[in-house]
Structure 1
Amino acid sequence: MLEHGVRYGQAVTSTEVQQQDTTRVQIRGAVPPNHAPPGITVVAHMGVEVPQQNYGVPSRSTFQHPSQGLQEGWYFSLDGNHLTTADLVNLGKGLYKIKLSAEVEEHVIRAKNVIDKILSEKQGSCRKILSAPQVLYKTHLSTTSNSQTPNSTIAKTKELSKDTRNKIVDLHQAGKTESAIGVGPPLSPERTRMLLALRINVLAKGHSGISLETLQKMVAAFNASCLSWVPEQGTVGASGDLAPLAHLALGLMGEGRMWSPQTGWTDAMTVLEGHGLTPISLKPKEGLSLINGTQMISSLGAEAVERAEAITRQADVIAALTLETLKGTNKAFDIDVHAVRPHPGQILVAQRFRSLLHSKFFPSEITDEKSYQGVQDAYTLRCCPQVHGIAKDTIAFVKNILNTELNSATDNPLVFPQRGITISAGNFHGEYPAKALDYLAIGVHELGSISERRIERLCNPSLSNLPAFLVNEGGLNSGFMVAHCTAAALVSENKVLCHPASVDSLSTSAATEDHVSMGGWAARKALKVVEHVEQVLAIELLAACQALEFHRPLKTTAPLEKVYELLRSVVRPWDKDRVMSSDIEAAHKLLLEEKVWKAVLPYMEQFKKSD
């Protein structure tokens, strides 16, 4: 029997195999084998053989499966208190399996006992079980129109008969089916894995009244990569993400469709049986426990904020390369300038520009202060610390909101075992993550907007003193002219997508759920904005490296030369027109894998020590 010693929210780094005694090691966060601290041996799970993941199915996520990381079968312990956005993204990639600690299991059992006690007390009403006026999903999501259904009950007798108890179970079972009304394409396996992991995490807090048996079946499905068909549209973000979470539960019940690496998309029961799993059979309160919560918003938001953080770092590098090829000055990044306006993001960006551009540490042959001919550069160059900086500070704000949300009980009603009661409230409302993700879209969009203007400066000979559209023989070749059009189109789309979803609300459920967050759309469009920004910056990276060709044989700074070499390893210089979409895709992949950032990081760390 394998025993995994680790605190909640941490990757498993030790194990007991059969009768062998080993040291229990506690390490915060997810630790790949090749990144373990000195003296620590990270041991993989040895009891289950997991086939290599097959990512051949169509995926709407652009995350790449990393070439280095944990082997299949590594465990991550969830407790509802320590999960981060980065952890959740790694869980989505299939880097870990999940386990529950004995302490978590105890919390879950105590909450379930409260529900069972209420049933056994025979005090007469489903109203007490569900803490009226909580909605009964069996009735309020049915096709019949009844203004009283949101507060209806199914029993008002003095005792709960066996038949009434069965009706309670049927009610929650039906709630799963009747709430599974999503439309649109399904979430990718990676994103569904994130959704399932997050739902497990919040249920592990022990405030939902779910049975340990049901939670363990969810964990088993995650570990086998048996993932439900979850359409991406249909949630209004209160009461939670009903439709997507109902679809998530539907597959776990053996209904609808599921995906696994071995089967692809097929009948859910076939997938479960093929992996030796049994479907969930709902008990009282469990219908609500599985479909009430903000996990669709928050899981997609976790991916959005992690990708946003990655691209904003690399935006600094690409912008610095553009400034270099336009022979700009680094005076605007002087340390004293930013000390008198000490926003954290602004100070950080200015420091990065100083570390990348001409200095005594990393001299440039292309530009230095003696050769600078202008008075000051355009805003798109000298105001990067101010524009990029607020994007970074926005991301930090959003990440803080989401990390709290990932570890919050968003069920309804909530169970409080120490008090022996359930309380109906409003933690399911998605306004927090919805607002945060609207902010994220607006903040990150500006990185694409200012990047598009820098692309214009690179392509415009009157602004750059470079060949028009960065190509020789302009009469025969279009060069980067249409690539700039693509960047402009993406930025224009983002302007529309940045309209906040959370400013909208429509009354639903017979005016009982009369204010909703629209957080599902906020999350989906935030992801799309981030993807567009990545693509715009990929185009700028291509253009800046092409501009560098016209300065040869002169060399730029050592870190920026590394960026040039990195791009040239996948994209050759532009000498005459060819299909550019594959070049953009190759540059985009470098950004997704954060290779541009990794190329300059050692130089930036070296500079930071003496700045």
Structure 2
Amino acid sequence: MEGNFKYSNYNIDYATERASELSIKNNNSILMSQQTVTGDCVMVEKPITLVIDGNSLTPKDLSMCGDMNVKLALSKECKEKVNKARKFLEKIVDENKTVYGITTGFGTFSNVQISPKEIEQLQVNLIRSHSTGYGSPLPPPRARMLLALRINVLAKGHSGISLENIEKLIKAFNAFCVSFVPQQGTVGCSGDLCPLAHLALGMLGEGQMWSPRTGWDDAHKVLKANNLEAIKLGPKEGLALINGTQMVTSLGALAVTKAFNLARQADIIAALSLDVLKGTTRAYDFDVHRVRPHRGQGISARRLRALLHSDNNPSEIAESHRNCGKVQDAYTLRCVPQVHGVVHDTISFVHGIIQIEMNSATDNPLIFADREEIISGGNFHGEYPAKALDFLAISVQELAQISERRLERLVNTELSGLPTFLTPNGGLNSGFMTVQLCAASLVSENKVLCHPASADSIPTSCNQEDHVSMGGFSARKALTVVEHVEAVLAMELLAACQAMEFLKPLKSTEPLQKVYELVRTISPPLENDRYMYPEIQHVIKLIRENKIYEVVEERLIEIRDLEEINPNAMRMNAGSPTGIFM
């Protein structure tokens, strides 16, 4: 396989998951849509409805929920579970039993009994008192993802919220009405209390909300403008809305989705750099990676073989240095499969953690209506997604670190044999001088951002909540790191395409030539210095939209299938342009 990574019961198929075609499977129905990755979400071109069942939402599904074309509906089975849990909870309230967060206060105040006439006010007070976040709000698409994930968790039927209030949340989602949710203020345990309280506050008609119809405005005005009703909280419903790991996990779902798209295109960009730097592909031989069979490494090596070797359209650049006598390349070229490969494997691992978390009951206490029990537990602790997202950042940043070093080789005439800074008239022109400088600055920032937030813990709530995950920062950092890596790889790709100008009339392989031609549709060759920022942004957009992958996808799948039949199909030998025995 091109790469069928597995974690638990979840798969990422690195060959068949197409950037142009998205399949979402819910309740035995398959919904197809064109999709595009942007900074804030996965954009879809055709209206679709995700049927929420509390069990099968994927990171890609959730990443689409920032787009207006996506609507939500609740499955019949979920409605039954929600009603059953609510009925049992109301029975507990009627019997005046002591249950945490229902007939008692919260945290340190869990020993304070709440009178029946104050039970509903308790829930309203909870939302108001916990809406104490800091910083700029989540962009509306990300706030909508957060809302979708909270709906999915409530739909599991272990939180005790009423079906009526879940349906109000879904109506708000479908109208794209989202609350003002500051990005800072969660310690990732007891759930993401602060951001989720802000999410709920707007639905009470308090604070601020956003909708396409109104922009940012007072929540009660936004609800009214969209013909929506505010939520009225009953017993436990405030707690049900704010206790869980959805802030960490929703941002994590977007980060891992973007990282997946980015990592497979990093292989393609590295292949182009290797060709224009006249490197040898001998290190990508099938047997080299067969004897160290990490899945990600094998996938990366196969992609490099597929892109750099073609009997029908071989690289004229590679042919030109067939007999150069070069034995081996620097690590940034020779070790691409080993470095990129572990990133692929990490993404697969993190994807599994995030998907499990997305479909988990992370409330407290949990209602088990079938057993007629309410149990206080610790599923709200965000350690799983926090650790996974710290791991994701540490791993993905390596794509930028190795990319920036390849970029340095491209602009350094002593290493590449190409004109210094890839400009035909150096001195008067600076060419790619500060493109590499900018890449270096982003790589340096990433190194700081890769310090694991989850290594820290500060006790809160009078030491009742004495160990926390700090997962909110883990998630925000991971997203920032991924976006920095997108930029660095875009800079490398621009430089590799510029390098090809100095190798003409020689051409690369057919698939890599297609990559070059795609870039040239938005960024012409650099003959004299010009304003480069817009072009860098356009190439970042190509990467986010999977366009780099799309133009070579057919070749990657063809070689995957060929090597499954015959592992020797792409074997390199001393007679090939870059096949040199060591």
**Alignment TM-score > 0.5, same fold:** yes
Q: Output the CA distance in 1 between the equivalents of 2:426 and 2:325.
A: 27
Q: Is the 8 A contact 1:350 1:385 kept in 2?
A: yes
Q: Is 1:203 aligned with 2:204? A: no
Match of 1:112 among 83, 86, 96: 86
Match of 1:531 among 465, 474, 483: 483
Which secondary structure state, in structure 1, belongs to the residue aligned with residue 311 of structure 2? Answer: coil
Q: Which one has more relative contact order, counting CA pairs under 8 Å at least 6 apart?
A: 2
Instruction: Spell out the pairing of 1:261-272 with structure 2 (5 A cutoff).
Output: 261-272=212-223
Match of 1:31 in 2: 32
Q: Which runs of 5+ in 2 are unaligned?
A: 1-25, 564-582
Match of 2:521 in 1: 569
Aligned-residue offset at 1:114: 1.5
Q: Is the 8 A contact 1:86 1:306 kept in 2?
A: yes
Aligned-residue offset at 1:152: 2.3
Q: Is the 8 A contact 2:161 2:240 kept in 1?
A: yes
Instruction: Spell out the pairing of 1:393-404 with structure 2 (5 A cutoff).
Output: 393-404=345-356
Could you list the structure 1 runs, at least 4 aligned residues long, displaced by more than 6 angstroms after superposition.
none
Aligned-residue offset at 1:90: 1.0
Aligned-residue offset at 1:603: 1.6
Q: Output the CA distance in 2 between the equivalents of 1:63 and 1:551.
A: 38
What amino acid maps onto 1:476 in structure 2? L
Percent identity, please.
55
What amino acid maps onto 1:104 in structure 2? C
Match of 1:136 among 98, 105, 109: 105
Aligned-residue offset at 1:101: 1.9
Instruction: Spell out the pairing of 1:39-50 with structure 2 (5 A cutoff).
Output: none
Q: Output the CA distance in 1 between the equivalents of 2:444 and 2:154.
A: 41
Q: Output the CA distance in 2 between the equivalents of 1:64 and 1:85.
A: 11
Listed one character per residue, the Cα deviations across residues 198-221 of structure 1 (whole Å, up to 9, x for unaligned) are 000000000001011111110110
Aligned-residue offset at 1:70: 1.8
Q: Output the CA distance in 2 between the equivalents of 1:171 and 1:65.
A: 38
Q: Is the 8 A contact 1:150 1:509 kept in 2?
A: no
Aligned-residue offset at 1:604: 1.5
Instruction: Spell out the pairing of 1:203-282 with structure 2 (5 A cutoff).
Output: 203-282=154-233
Which secondary structure state, in structure 1, belongs to the residue aligned with residue 78 of structure 2? Answer: helix
Match of 1:102 in 2: 76
Q: Is 1:579 aligned with 2:531? A: yes
Match of 2:568 in 1: none
Instruction: Spell out the pairing of 1:402-481 with structure 2 (5 A cutoff).
Output: 402-481=354-433
Which secondary structure state, in structure 2, belongs to the residue aligned with residue 367 of structure 1? Answer: helix
Match of 1:69 in 2: 45
Match of 1:151 in 2: 110
What amino acid maps onto 1:376 in structure 2? Q
Q: Output the CA distance in 1 between the equivalents of 2:408 and 2:64.
A: 37
Q: Is the 8 A contact 2:41 2:142 kept in 1?
A: no
Aligned-residue offset at 1:165: 2.2
Higher strand share: 2
Aligned-residue offset at 1:509: 0.1
Aligned-residue offset at 1:95: 3.0
What amino acid maps onto 2:258 in structure 1? R
Q: Output the CA distance in 2 between the equivalents of 1:114 and 1:349.
A: 53
Per the alignment, do residues 116 and 450 of structure 1 end up closer, same or farther by CA in structure 2, a change over 3 Å counting? same
TM-score (norm 1): 0.85
Which secondary structure state, in structure 1, belongs to the residue aligned with residue 316 of structure 2? Answer: coil
Match of 1:490 among 427, 430, 442: 442
Q: Which runs of 5+ in 1 are unaligned?
A: 1-24, 36-60, 141-148, 156-163
Instruction: Spell out the pairing of 1:263-342 with structure 2 (5 A cutoff).
Output: 263-342=214-293
Match of 1:378 among 326, 330, 341: 330
Q: Output the CA distance in 2 between the equivalents of 1:286 and 1:371.
A: 74
Q: Is the 8 A contact 1:75 1:97 kept in 2?
A: yes
Q: Output the CA distance in 2 between the equivalents of 1:578 and 1:233.
A: 39
Match of 1:170 in 2: 121
Q: Is the 8 A contact 1:328 1:372 kept in 2?
A: no
Listed one character per residue, the Cα deviations across residues 181-238 of structure 1 (whole Å, up to 9, x for unaligned) are 0010000111011000000000000000101111111011001111100000000000
Q: Output the CA distance in 1 between the equivalents of 2:559 and 2:110.
A: 64
Which secondary structure state, in structure 2, belongs to the residue aligned with residue 237 of structure 1? Answer: coil
Aligned-residue offset at 1:166: 2.7
Q: Output the CA distance in 2 between the equivalents of 1:63 and 1:119.
A: 42
Q: Is 1:88 aligned with 2:62? A: yes
Listed one character per residue, the Cα deviations across residues 30-64 of structure 1 (whole Å, up to 9, x for unaligned) are 422x79xxxxxxxxxxxxxxxxxxxxxxxxx7147
Aligned-residue offset at 1:579: 1.2
Aligned-residue offset at 1:442: 0.4
Aligned-residue offset at 1:69: 2.8
Q: Output the CA distance in 2 between the equivalents of 1:129 and 1:517.
A: 22
Q: Is the 8 A contact 1:29 1:87 kept in 2?
A: no
Q: Output the CA distance in 2 between the equivalents of 1:64 and 1:560.
A: 28
Q: Output the CA distance in 2 between the equivalents of 1:131 and 1:427.
A: 18
Q: Output the CA distance in 1 between the equivalents of 2:29 and 2:387.
A: 30
Which secondary structure state, in structure 2, belongs to the residue aligned with residue 97 of structure 1? Answer: strand
What amino acid maps onto 2:465 in structure 1? E
Aligned-residue offset at 1:406: 0.3
Q: Output the CA distance in 1 between the equivalents of 2:416 and 2:100.
A: 71
Which secondary structure state, in structure 1, belongs to the residue aligned with residue 318 of structure 2? Answer: coil
Q: Output the CA distance in 2 between the equivalents of 1:371 and 1:29.
A: 53
Q: Is 1:504 aligned with 2:456? A: yes
What amino acid maps onto 1:136 in structure 2? G
Q: Is the 8 A contact 2:100 2:110 kept in 1?
A: no
